[in-house]
Amino acid sequence: MHTRGVELPLPRRARPLLFDALPGLEANTPWRVLVHGPTGVERIDRTVSGLEGVEAWMKRDDLASPIYGGNKVRRYEFLLASAEARGCRRLVTAGGVASTQAMATALFGRALGFAVRMVLFDQPITRFAKQALLIDADAGAELIAGGNHLTTALRMVSALVRDRKDGNFLILPGAANPVANLGYVDAMLELAQQVEAGLLPRPDLIVLPTGSSGTLAALSLGAAWLGWDTEVVGVRITPWIATNRLTIGQIVRATDRHLHARDPARWRPQAGRVRWSLEPRALGPGYGHPTAEARAAIEEVRALTGAPGEVTYSAKALVGLRLVAAEPRHRGKTILLWNTLSTMRPEPGPTARSKVPPLLQWVLDAPEVA
């Protein structure tokens, strides 16, 4: 449980609900506990403007772990367990300089004894981006300046093949593969238990920020398997080339096939039954670019969660929630905001800056756009 601004510890769960629902999955799926949960659900205060016509709730995955919260924790219970099972000793990934996935990889990699190597591409520089870079460096990750998307891809290949004898484990940006997505199919089962316990009504819509879209795909599959008619709405935080019906459809189908192959008796194909959509209006000029609405929402995120928001994920998610709530067809409906940005962030130590490589020092000196 969590009261705004005050952390209250949650117990670690013993096993994913998905293993009980799909026994065939457990036999060949590595898993290790990282999530402290179930994460709480809260009614969103009426003081948040623009939600007057709906009943709004929030799922507190920002508090999924005292190490670092957000939507990578559930994914890494499966993904990092797979790396351990393969005997890998180094995690290799890529992301923007403000990437939450990069932070999660650095922090959980350190906690589990992995070396971490990451290639970071340029994006608009914010206070959050500077803090993220310092956290990555302070966690001991090997940081490589990626530059633009093309040079980042080339440097990612180089980072992966170097020191292969150590057992490098690749985590693509967003970590949206079928194994990682199991974490959010499982999360829907957790939410169903909370609904059954009367902690909140069954949501008509679930709203969350989406880029690589594994969380969106997995939640929509979980809802379909439960027999819910809930629509999962992704507030797009990346350009259409990365986040569109084709890319998301591929993730849905791949995850659906993965589940069906491991327990065909209990998991019947769901890809044709999923209900999801994209809300594009909060994006602005592109990934990480602030908008006036997102800037204004930063302090509202703080009021909701106890930690300041930022313009890439949480603030745009709140903007998107307002846009969805304002649609006449949604009046009177129950909408759940799934909070995927960690409230728990370690404070970088006094030597963190000295650990940032020279080719990334410019980030710390750059003017902030938000």
pLDDT at residue number 301: 92
Q: Which domain holds residue 308?
A: 2-71+177-338
Q: Does one domain contain both 157 and 193? A: no
What's the farthest any 2 CA atoms get from each other in the chain?
58
Q: Does one domain contain both 152 and 182? A: no
- The rounded distance, in Å, linking the Cα atoms of 88 and 167 is 4
- The rounded distance, in Å, linking the Cα atoms of 132 and 310 is 11
Q: Does one domain contain both 196 and 319? A: yes
Q: Does one domain contain both 152 and 238? A: no
Mean pLDDT (whole number) for 224-244:
97
pLDDT at residue number 1: 27
The CATH number of whichever domain residue 85 belongs to comes to 3.40.50.1100
Q: Does one domain contain both 334 and 361? A: no
Q: Does one domain contain both 57 and 185? A: yes
Q: DSSP labels for 45-103?
A: PTTSTT-TTSEEEEE-GGGS-SS--STHHHHHHHHHHHHHHTT--EEEEEEETT-HHHH
- pLDDT tens across 230-239, in order? 999 999 999 9
Of 140-154, 236-250, 300-314, the one with minimum mean pLDDT is 300-314
pLDDT greater than 60 at residue 7: no
Q: Does one domain contain both 243 and 109? A: no
Indicate whether 310 belongs to any domain: yes
The answer to whether 125 touches 158, Cβ cutoff 8 Å, is no
The residues facing 168 across adjacent strands are 90
- pLDDT tens across 50-100, in order? 999 999 999 999 999 999 999 999 999 999 999 999 999 999 999 999 999
pLDDT at residue number 10: 59
Indicate whether 343 belongs to any domain: no
pTM metric for this prediction: 0.95
Question: What's the pLDDT band for 11 if we cut at 50, 70, 90?
Answer: low
pLDDT greater than 50 at residue 188: yes
pLDDT at residue number 6: 32
Indicate whether 133 belongs to any domain: yes
Cβ burial of 302 (10 Å; 0-12, 13-18, 19+) is: middle
Q: Does one domain contain both 85 and 35? A: no
Mean pLDDT (whole number) for 178-182:
98
Indicate whether 346 belongs to any domain: no
pLDDT at residue number 8: 41
Q: Does one domain contain both 183 and 279? A: yes
For residue 323, what is the enclosing H or E element? helix 314-326
Domain count, the chain: 2
Provide the token pair at 50. 């623009």
Indicate whether 347 belongs to any domain: no
pLDDT at residue number 252: 98
Question: What's the pLDDT band for 171 if we cut at 50, 70, 90?
Answer: very high
Question: What's the pLDDT band for 261 if we cut at 50, 70, 90?
Answer: very high
pLDDT at residue number 48: 81
Question: What's the pLDDT band for 166 if we cut at 50, 70, 90?
Answer: confident
13 or 152, which is more confident?
A: 152
pLDDT at residue number 5: 36
Q: Does one domain contain both 214 and 321? A: yes
Indicate whether 344 belongs to any domain: no
- pLDDT tens across 325-354, in order? 999 999 999 999 999 999 989 999 999 999
Q: Does one domain contain both 258 and 240? A: yes
pLDDT greater than 60 at residue 2: no
Indicate whether 263 belongs to any domain: yes
Indicate whether 149 belongs to any domain: yes
Q: Does one domain contain both 121 and 252? A: no
